[in-house]
Amino acid sequence: MTREHDDAVPRRTIRSFVRRAGRITPSQERALHELWPDYGVEYADSLIDFDTLFERTAPVVLEIGFGNGESLVELAAASPDLDFLGIEVHEPGVGHCLLKAEEAGVRNLKVVAHDAIEVLKNQVPAGSLARVNLYFPDPWPKKRHHKRRIVQPEFVNLIADRLVDGGTLNVATDWANYAEHIDEILSRSDRFTCTECRDHEGDQPFERPQTKFERRGLRKGHGISDRCFKKTMDT
Return the active site residues: 138
Helix (H) or strand (E) holding 204: none
Question: Which 3 state secondary structure label does DSSP give 47?
Answer: coil
| C-beta separation of 131 from 62 below 8 A | yes
Who's near 136: CB < 8 A, 6+ residues apart? 65, 67, 172, 173, 174, 211, 213, 214, 217
The neighbouring-strand residues paired with 91 are: none
Are 96 and 39 in contact, with CB atoms under 8 Å apart?
no
β-pairing verdict for 224-231 and 192-200: antiparallel
Q: Report the C-alpha gap between 33 and 24 in whole angstroms.
A: 12
66 and 88 Cβ atoms separated by less than 8 Å: yes
